[in-house]
Structure 1
């Protein structure tokens, strides 16, 4: 019987991450699941076993991440699929958010992802196979969400580094995919899961309206099912030539089309100036 792949999933204690590890275990994959505190994972899934390894990991600590990768390989004997899913939403306009608040969001959403990539790639490169999923957001493709600029910037960074990663590692037989989830019915938009600015500037009425719409109206009414999202990721992991860019969920096509239309429109309108620089 074929030995199922080993997955390493960060941000696994809730939302899409939790839905994914449950689906993986149902389908007899083996899973190392990381979180800041394993208590909820142990409650949801159970103790460590031949198929499941819960790990308490601080993604901003490179040595801690390295240890988690080593433990995964020691436990399962291999590593095949990495999912960089950990992250959080930071609300606030660019003027409002302090340097500390902005850097904290980048530390988890971007540098945490880089820490995992740096420590997983030596194994994947050596075995000449593997797949890295970096979970961005539709806000990592279209940034026109007032009050979400820093969060969108972190997710744009995830998309950009994944494009480069895909080119850097394809010669080793390793794949990379950036995933742009739309609105999924998880607790991502709950008041306990997103951070708001410490120093609010009330004049930013548009940003406040966007913030309230996400927290009070969109939250709990998202159109997409995280379990079906998990199934889609598993399906992508099994194809020979996976996409570098993967839109996940209903509504993402609208953001895609609107941005293409906007960029194309601007390019056409300003083409005379664009090409005015030719010597």
Structure 2
């Protein structure tokens, strides 16, 4: 793909990584279709440009996503890179989280990604290539008390993205899973909390800690999105991008503990086979 001719489709583009990515792409001369729940707010933040197609989209609606992708292709002729970035973290112990709250979290953090994949893939197959960036999280590697619904969603993103990479490789389509740690976006200042409060779990303590830490995260979102731009379309692009020192350490600790546990229980595991 020639750099300046690439067309990017980005969800969750009015804040955080999505907005930072839109701004850098426009500065670089790329064409960008960017979705938000409110395109006016997105345009106010990103500015107006003939290379920007701002779209109001409910990403949990397959029809909405399909229409947005069709509008992108109608406007720019193609899509080269699709970024599944939209998402949020619901805080609450699993006993506190209602069925409706959990389902909405999964709808946005998981099923919305599938809406994009399902509707972009026909274009990627037809044009003989493309690149998905699916945002997971370091929270997809190991769990946090009182954030189980988010851990579940991001683990799902990692799992289905790995499967997707195998499925689409024959069509010259690449998949990169982006797992950030703590970056200085508005993410920690915009999370909902389960309405049902059960005091012994201490969810409020986690909420207070995150609010206090907000604005002091070590990660620079502009540096992360620059890496995505540099990675897009490269031959043999990485399947996993674990971003940030904290994310690296978290993933490393998780895999070390899993290997240790496997070795400790190896004999017990092997004992279940037929003799």
Give the drift of 1:47: 3.4
* Partner-residue secondary structure (3-state), 2:167: helix
Q: For the residues of structure 2 that align with 1:224 and 1:47, how far apart are their CA atoms?
A: 28
**Equivalent position of 1:110 in the other structure:** 110
* Partner-residue secondary structure (3-state), 1:147: coil
Give the drift of 1:219: 1.1
Over residues 30-57 of structure 1, what are the superposed CA-to-partner deviations in whole Å (9 max), with x where a residue is unaligned?
10000000122111223352x1100000
Task: Determine whether 1:255 maps to 2:256.
Answer: no
Match of 1:236 among 226, 231, 234: 231
Q: For the residues of structure 1 that align with 2:236 and 2:226, how far apart are their CA atoms?
A: 17
**Equivalent position of 2:139 in the other structure:** 139
Q: For the residues of structure 2 that align with 1:186 and 1:240, how far apart are their CA atoms?
A: 30
Assess if the C-alpha contact under 8 Å between 1:185 and 1:222 holds in 2.
Answer: yes
Q: For the residues of structure 2 that align with 1:84 and 1:4, how far apart are their CA atoms?
A: 20
Over residues 132-153 of structure 1, what are the superposed CA-to-partner deviations in whole Å (9 max), with x where a residue is unaligned?
010011101222x111100110
Q: For the residues of structure 2 that align with 1:38 and 1:3, how far apart are their CA atoms?
A: 24
RMSD of aligned alpha carbons: 1.3
Assess if the C-alpha contact under 8 Å between 2:4 and 2:29 holds in 1.
Answer: no
Give the drift of 1:252: 1.4
**Equivalent position of 2:157 in the other structure:** 158
**Equivalent position of 2:193 in the other structure:** 196
Assess if the C-alpha contact under 8 Å between 2:135 and 2:177 holds in 1.
Answer: yes
* Partner-residue secondary structure (3-state), 1:180: strand
Assess if the C-alpha contact under 8 Å between 1:25 and 1:31 holds in 2.
Answer: yes
Assess if the C-alpha contact under 8 Å between 1:48 and 1:54 holds in 2.
Answer: no
* Partner-residue secondary structure (3-state), 1:231: helix
**Equivalent position of 1:93 in the other structure:** 93
**Equivalent position of 1:221 in the other structure:** 216
Q: For the residues of structure 2 that align with 1:82 and 1:154, how far apart are their CA atoms?
A: 19
Q: For the residues of structure 2 that align with 1:137 and 1:265, how far apart are their CA atoms?
A: 23
Q: For the residues of structure 1 that align with 2:34 and 2:253, how far apart are their CA atoms?
A: 36
Over residues 163-183 of structure 1, what are the superposed CA-to-partner deviations in whole Å (9 max), with x where a residue is unaligned?
000000000000011110110
Give the drift of 1:2: 6.4
Q: For the residues of structure 1 that align with 2:45 and 2:59, how far apart are their CA atoms?
A: 21
TM-score (norm 2): 0.96
Assess if the C-alpha contact under 8 Å between 2:7 and 2:31 holds in 1.
Answer: yes
Equivalent pairs counted in the alignment come to 273
Over residues 210-242 of structure 1, what are the superposed CA-to-partner deviations in whole Å (9 max), with x where a residue is unaligned?
3322222x2111001111111011111142111
Q: Which runs of 5+ in 1 are unaligned?
A: none
Give the drift of 1:4: 2.0
Q: Which runs of 5+ in 2 are unaligned?
A: none
Question: Which 10-residue stretch deviates more, 229-238 or 31-40?
Answer: 229-238
Q: For the residues of structure 1 that align with 2:206 and 2:252, how far apart are their CA atoms?
A: 21
Give the drift of 1:3: 4.5
Over residues 237-276 of structure 1, what are the superposed CA-to-partner deviations in whole Å (9 max), with x where a residue is unaligned?
1421111111112211111211012101111221121111
Q: For the residues of structure 1 that align with 2:66 and 2:133, how far apart are their CA atoms?
A: 18
